[in-house]
Structure 1
């Protein structure tokens, strides 16, 4: 508020206030009522405040700022606090909505992950079951008491295979492997057992049988063919890298392999997409 205007207001108020005692000395029919008394008190208060403002301005020369009434200040402060609280509540509500959305996404991702884990577990169970060689069949009760000599048992199994009875030959060679773990023709029995398994596309069990047959790289007539059959089983199991590794050993271990075996090995290399040697 400009200083000259404050001075004018203060002068007017002083003149008005100075006139009050003279009027009070004028005889009146009735004394001032309570309402007039309150009005006079308020005017006195205003005059005192104006005088203080003017004197302060004269002493300091600084601009005078008239503060609002205490009640108005508190109401303004309260309104400001309420506004701040409303803004805080709005931010909290927004944060809660975001957190709820993120929790829902996490729950869905967790459920999807559980489903994937279950699916992988089922696949592993199937793969492990497929890779486990079948248990050799139990021998008939009448044969359990007396076993054939190893050579006789091997010859009987081979005759079943030559006759085209692959199911019977599979059981007979499996029984030989079980009954004669130290038999003189154990490795060859595993090789022929793998052949019977390959006939019915039991590639995982056949691969296990072939691996047992060529362990130690025996120098026999059937060993090169066993390597090729192992590679073909691995290709069927979608393991081309392992198949190529087995085929790479063929010329090293059996450089004099028959031409028919070498031809089938070349076809297996093409099937497995082996790199050129």
Structure 2
């Protein structure tokens, strides 16, 4: 009922406004303000008429909805509250992650310190182990070096004794005996053969440099003996071990040239040595 009364009054006012507008009014300083007030009133009337006609056309009661500003404000406030709570949770998680990260960094630094210390200790132990191994090798070499033997006065007896050492597998004493023989009897006809057997004892213990020297002394002059082809082959193999392939290939060429009737076993090993030396 109140809404209908308000609308009726608005309509009456709108009807009266044109009449008032036609009545001449005295001019005064308030004309401009009066015009603006009238314009505002006309706008309100037009809006009210629109509402009335809308109700008449649709047949439905006109309900003027109050502004939902307060509800929207409440909704926005709730959303802001939710965002603040979420932000607080995120901040808390960030603080926890930062704390965990700091702890992980400290643990990593401590682990690196321990690792560096262990590596230093390991390097020191490896150095000590290397020194001990070197000392052990040197001690073994000293132990293997045969003590000088007093050779028999008879060269034949001395050679026979040295040969027996070799047959018994006593390479240390055999080496010492043959070395004593070539030292004491360098001009004896058996001296080249003694050098050959001396080279054998040296070759067995991988003293390739000394072995090559002994074999070279044995084949000097290219003696035509049963052991000469094997001595020449052993010389080439010692040169291969000493990483002198060119010299080894030349020695093998001389083997084929000087001893064309060498035993098949020597010829076979010579062929494999050529492959090892990469001879042309």
| Superposition TM-score, scaled by structure 2 size | 0.47
Q: Which has the larger radius of gyration?
A: 2
Give the TM-score taking structure 1 as reference length: 0.48
